[in-house]
Chains A and B, each alone.
Chain A
Amino acid sequence: MKPACNKDGQAAYGALTGRRVAWMLGLAALLFVVALLSLAMGSSAAGLRDVLRTGLDGVIFWELRVPRVIMGLLVGSGLAVGGAATQAVLRNPLASPFTLGVASGAGFGAALGIVLAGATVKWAVAGGAFTFALVTVLFILAVARMKSATPETLVLAGVAVMFLFSAGTSLLQFLGTEQQIQSIVFWSFGNLTRAAWTDILIAAGMILPALPALFLRAWDLNLLLAGDEMAASLGVRVDRLRLTALLLAALMTAGAICFTGVIGFIGLVGPHLARLMVGGDHRFLLPTSALCGALLVLVSDSLGRTFFAPHMVPIGIVTAFLGVPFFFALLLRRKREFW
């Protein structure tokens, strides 16, 4: 009897793995289609067929649409994977770069870069964003270490941080020149329209290396969910893992938003959608989060472009409208049943 059981148990796990891989392939296919559609969408009349056939007339296609879609893919995957890693490390399903104020920190840093060095000095903007994302992460980590910290404490601390940094950003606007103000305001909306190839290179440089670095730690992140002591006894260097993962998440968040501005809730909604599809194993959760995040960004961007056409609503506004109800739904579910 036992060998038969044995086979069943393992077969069931194999089937589970198969289903997860199928979800990922399906999502990847969907993402491919959505990316093509996004390439075809825009104020210029070129439709999908033209895009596929001719590659479109050079300038609009290569300087506007392609960068926009690539930036969308980068930003979406970066924010969502950063969110998934943050949730694991803080063992807090409400955590995300946005709800913890990391995005606001990055926003302030970018604004500071704009004021001090100018919007055209890309490295200053990206560096400022990363520095302040990092400062926020370290602060949140310190709060999380407090014994009495609950998931809600962290979110409230994030709100406080958000207020602080938005006040800081306002101050910079108050002090800045008209041109700087414009750049900063553009930032606060969250927008994919002005993605230039240099921006994409820098953002890719910050996001793409962090992805495999986190994927490789998938098992350790799984263990962390089972508790610090449990993880440590199974061979994980807990403090080092926590710090590394949070630094990578901060880097990705900064990379994702330093040129596009604040695009909220992708880091929260993306991982939760992914968890619904493939469960909590980070070997599947992290790549699926990347796919979900990229998909959410491209869809939100397309909605923003078409809903009030010919006006284009910046994507940050769209994701906020989509994300806030989701966040509420999470909060209203009973405590500790977030995942």
Chain B
Amino acid sequence: MLKASDLFYSYPGRPVLQGVSLTLSPGEVVAVLGPNGTGKSTLLRCLAGALTPQGQIELSGRALGAVPPVERARLLAFVPQHVPARLPMTVFEAVLLGRRPYLSWRPRPQDLEATWESLSILGLAELAHREFSEISGGQRQKVALARALAQNSRLLIMDEPTSSLDLRHQLEVMSLLCARAEEQGTGVVLAVHDLNLAARFASRALLLHQGRIFAEGPPEQVLTEDSIREVYGVDVLRMEAAAGAMYFPLAASSSPA
């Protein structure tokens, strides 16, 4: 349902993406991995339509740029890496914003219901009527996720959705996304730094290295000790555990890639 081929993107004087292709099918959870500055966020922004790269992106069979913004918003939700710390509204209202693509003026009962449901799923129900500016950083990140869930799209694109969350909430959020993918056929693309989370939850991994795809496939095949040394410049110890491969960083390798 999302098909990107041969994407190139440059910021002034600095090429970032150099021929990246990605296909996302319903029910897949794709983890985009790679060191800082390697183009993960840029790739996600392109997929979400926030940047216009060279190359082709098709959303449900149509060129992404040709889909009207409101219609695109019904098909595809995007959670940027940075969200403002302050919003002059309640948590409930901040999540209700995700219903915008369906709203005309007054929120209908089903909009309020969808808002409440995604708040409940993420365990934010208690906070619903607090001011957004009063809650913690991790909670704000969950509000952004709740907003994306309320958007009720078939595709979720998330830039490091677990970066401010504690261990328990990281697991909860990742399980939740996987459950969505499995039960509703939602396609999920997310950038992550945590190799263990990726190995455990993603159905596919995309390892970026200097703007190109270094490896792609099932996480256990992509994330080997060799590929990690090459891409991240770190020696890791990989151990097989019941939940999937586990990675223990040892030291920065002597010859960084």
Interface on A for B, CB 8 Å cutoff? 2, 5-6, 9-10, 12-13, 16, 91, 219-220, 222-223, 225-227, 229-230, 232-237, 275, 279-281, 283, 336-337, 339
Contact = CB atoms under 8 A, between A and B. Distances in A.
B78 A229 contact: yes
A227 B84 contact: yes
B176 to A, nearest CB: 16
A235 B77 CA distance: 10
A16 B89 CA distance: 11
A339 B80 contact: no
A184 B80 CA distance: 50
B92 A12 contact: yes
A31 B48 CA distance: 47
A219 B104 CA distance: 9
Interface in B212-247: none
B126 to A, nearest CB: 10
A16 B90 contact: yes
Given A232-B49, A232-B69, A9 B128 contact: yes
B129 interface: yes
B103 interface: yes
A174 to B, nearest CB: 44
B125 A234 contact: no
Given A233-B49, A233-B78, A10 B109 contact: yes
Contacts of A229: 45, 48, 50, 78, 80
A339 B93 CA distance: 15
Given A10-B113, A281-B93, A235 B69 contact: yes
B57 to A, nearest CB: 14
Contact of B129 (A2, A12, A283, A339): A12
Given A219-B103, A336-B85, A10 B116 contact: yes
A268 to B, nearest CB: 15
A219 B97 CA distance: 8
Contacts of B93: 13, 222, 279-281
Interface residues of B, number: 48
A220 B72 CA distance: 16
Contacts of B101: 234-235
Contacts, number: 112
Contacts of B112: 9-10, 13
Contacts of A234: 73, 97-98, 100-101, 151
Q: Which of B73, B89, B94, B129 has most chain A Cβ within 10 Å?
A: B89
Which 4 residue pairs spanning A and B have beta carbons closest together? A280-B88, A233-B78, A235-B73, A235-B70
Given A222-B97, A229-B50, 17 more contacts: A9-B92, A9-B115, A12-B129, A13-B96, A13-B107, A13-B129, A16-B129, A223-B100, A225-B84, A225-B87, A229-B45, A230-B78, A232-B49, A233-B50, A233-B76, A279-B89, A280-B89
11 contacts: A5-B120, A9-B115, A12-B128, A220-B100, A226-B147, A229-B48, A229-B80, A230-B78, A233-B73, A283-B105, A339-B133
Nearest to A283: B105
Contacts of B88: 225, 275, 279-280, 339
Contacts of B115: 9
B82 interface: yes
A230 B146 CA distance: 13
A223 B69 CA distance: 14
Contact of B83 (A91, A226, A275, A336): A226
A131 B128 CA distance: 45
B119 interface: yes
A219 B100 CA distance: 7
A274 to B, nearest CB: 11
A339 B132 CA distance: 11
A337 B50 contact: no
B62 interface: no
Contacts of A339: 86, 88, 133
